[in-house]
Structure 1
Amino acid sequence: MRRKLSLLLAPLVAAATLVSVGAPAPAHPVRQFPARIALPDGFTPEGLTIGRGTTVYVGSVLDGAVWRGDLRTGRGSVLIPGTPGTAKAGLKLDPQGRLWTADFFGGGASVYDPNTGARLAHYQFTTDPNTLVNDLVITKRAIYFTDSVRPVLYVVPLGPGHRLPASDAFRVLPLRGPGATPDAFNNGIVALPNGDLLVAQMLTGQLVRVDPRTGDSRLFDLGGYSVDRADGLVLRGRTLHVIRNLSNVIAVVRLNAGYTAGVVQREITGPQLRSLATGDLFGSALYVVNGRFDVESTPSTDYDIVRLPA
């Protein structure tokens, strides 16, 4: 199973899980935090999100386990045990503190209590085996999920007070325009302040803007720069981090005032980046998880989270 998963992930996968507007600067100096946090051997991580305080969550694309740790101490443990045959890609916490996960091969999404790991809800978007529910973004009104092999977004609306809707209260939003390009591998997703959604296409090397009401899309102008292997997207204000997994590069992009174009200001790279998957911001630091998609996952393969200057 591990070898099959590794062969699938190496040419294609890394989601992105996670993709979020960064938290405000913490009261504690980030430079005192460990630069590397070890994950359990063989964990095969994919999604990462930072929650309340210094809590970080990482999901496994191997068996759907979720590890919870502390950015300050570097210590943690498995919150949600893995189940053979399941997988989790992107994950994100909503304003009520609930943990949402994109269930990857499973064609759906789940919601968990971030303290106990108890599952609160599940949404089965499709039973088609040809699906990869990859990443998600949470807005005031809904949660949007990408599918890396189907030209759609899955939309779970939130009720008054952000109440969880019924298990069948979701819709499938067909994409039109460049967002529906065949074999583009739609991956990371963020919400722009102007209301559009921004989606990374891992295999075309492009970003596309999507109208969340209609599914219409347009290319996002990067001045000819390719974001090949774009996986996770992390947005704070008008600064976008594009995490490019097998390229081992993070492009730092400054967006224009209309959120229609951006200029790449710099690239972050280094030997500590090992087929990184996605990340999240904490103060002046960017935390990324190394998915190591270029090697076969075994029970002894080491994985980690690394801290970088944002």
Structure 2
Amino acid sequence: MRKTVRRRAVGGFIALLALLLPTAVPAGASTSSGDHVIVLRGAGSAEGIAAGEGTTFYAGELLTGDIFRGDIRDGKAKRFIDAPEGRMAVGMKADTRNDLLFVAGGTSGKAYVYDTDTRKPVKEYDLAPGFINDVTLTRDGAWFTNSAAPELYFLPVSGRGELGKAADVETLEVGGEAGRPLQPGQFGFNGIAAAGDGDVLIVAHTQNQALYTVDPGTGKSKRIKGPDLKFIDGILVKDRTVWAVQNMANQVSRLKLSSDLTSFRVKDVITSKHFNVPTTVARFGDTLAAVNAKFGQQPPPTRYEVVLVPAWD
């Protein structure tokens, strides 16, 4: 049985959001070729992206919670879901079998689920105060991270897409190095992915510049040994390959995990002249789609986009 803890208040939302609003944005090198850009027309912010069916992708408008839908083949995207007022859209994942989209709700402390067939909200869940940052899907449900607390939240989902009730949501307290207190104004857990059919979770920790494995049954964490991953944000895992987005570094590092998931080495560093604080990626075969968040820019950006680059798998 998973260990649960009492939800606790987490203050200092402004301090947490300071990471999203840095004062300087370093320029990224351009080492990839043939990449191009898909504009999220009308978006006033951006952060999350998820692969849908075929070459379809979903991207979130961070500050309104609206969802865009696009296609990497035709290079177009448009507003798809008008979220109810007061929502945010951070990390997201699509369950294409059941036409569901799971969205992390940022400072709302909530998780949202949408029907991608009807475009309607299905359910929302109160997880915890803080910053609900990202989500991954396993064979039995959805796991969400909180950047303000060393906790993960599990929402059970059946194979037929039947969602658990609010009372079914479990809170997993993470122990070990990944569970230590955060420094003021820092983000802890960020991106999350599943390995071994969900038997192991891999979580990015921004403050520690590291990846950790987390046992979904006990909450025990272990650092995956390797070079520091500065500005680590969203992650994508397939077999023993990890694509780690390093937002303010304007790059995606492709990592190779050891067979026992205890260490990694950097295989490639993917950059693009079009990267402008990328935060999350979705994969379509040999192509990665990365969304630009453009945090901290003055004057405020008037355009947000998805950048397509080689996955180098």
Structure 1 and Structure 2 fold alike (TM over 0.5): yes
- Call closer, same or farther: CA 1:124–1:149 in 2, change over 3 Å: same
Name the amino acid aligned to 1:91: M
| Cα distance between partner residues in 2 of 1:65 and 1:200 | 25
Deviation at 1:69? 1.2
| Cα distance between partner residues in 1 of 2:289 and 2:143 | 23
Indicate the residue corresponding to 2:10 in structure 1: none
Could you state the TM-score of these two structures normalised by the residue count of structure 1? 0.85
Task: Determine if contact 2:39/2:77 at 8 Å carries over to the other structure.
Answer: no
| Cα distance between partner residues in 1 of 2:17 and 2:258 | 38
| Cα distance between partner residues in 2 of 1:5 and 1:216 | 25
Deviation at 1:228? 1.3
Could you state the TM-score of these two structures normalised by the residue count of structure 2? 0.84
What's the secondary structure of 2:167's corresponding residue?
coil
1:163-207 CA-to-partner distances (Å, cap 9, x unmatched) read 111132101111111221222521000111272111101121111
Indicate the residue corresponding to 2:306 in structure 1: 305
Give 1:116-265 correspondences, 5 Å limit. Answer: 116-126=118-128, 128=129, 131-159=130-158, 161-183=160-182, 185-193=188-196, 195-222=199-226, 225-265=227-267
Indicate the residue corresponding to 1:78 in structure 2: 79
Return the match for 2:294 from 286, 292, 295: 292
Q: Percent identity, aligned pairs only?
A: 30
| Cα distance between partner residues in 2 of 1:112 and 1:301 | 27
Name the amino acid aligned to 1:89: V
1:40-59 CA-to-partner distances (Å, cap 9, x unmatched) read 24431110011012211001
1:10-39 CA-to-partner distances (Å, cap 9, x unmatched) read 249xxxxxxxxxxxxxxxxxx99x821011
| Cα distance between partner residues in 2 of 1:144 and 1:168 | 15
Structure 2 gaps of 5+ residues are: 1-14, 24-32
1:37-92 CA-to-partner distances (Å, cap 9, x unmatched) read 01124431110011012211001111111111111112222112255532110111
| Cα distance between partner residues in 2 of 1:11 and 1:215 | 31
Task: Determine if contact 2:51/2:57 at 8 Å carries over to the other structure.
Answer: yes
Indicate the residue corresponding to 1:108 in structure 2: 110
1:252-299 CA-to-partner distances (Å, cap 9, x unmatched) read 10111112211111211232111001001101011101111131474x
| Cα distance between partner residues in 2 of 1:271 and 1:35 | 10
Deviation at 1:142? 1.9
Deviation at 1:154? 0.7
- Call closer, same or farther: CA 1:116–1:76 in 2, change over 3 Å: farther
| Cα distance between partner residues in 2 of 1:295 and 1:234 | 26
| Cα distance between partner residues in 1 of 2:93 and 2:158 | 18
Task: Determine if contact 1:6/1:296 at 8 Å carries over to the other structure.
Answer: no
Which moved further from structure 2: 238-247 or 78-87? 78-87
Which moved further from structure 2: 92-101 or 239-248? 92-101
> What RMSD, in angstroms, separates the aligned Cα atoms of the two structures?
2.4
Which moved further from structure 2: 178-187 or 55-64? 178-187
Task: Determine if contact 2:16/2:148 at 8 Å carries over to the other structure.
Answer: no
| Cα distance between partner residues in 2 of 1:161 and 1:48 | 23
Name the amino acid aligned to 1:166: K
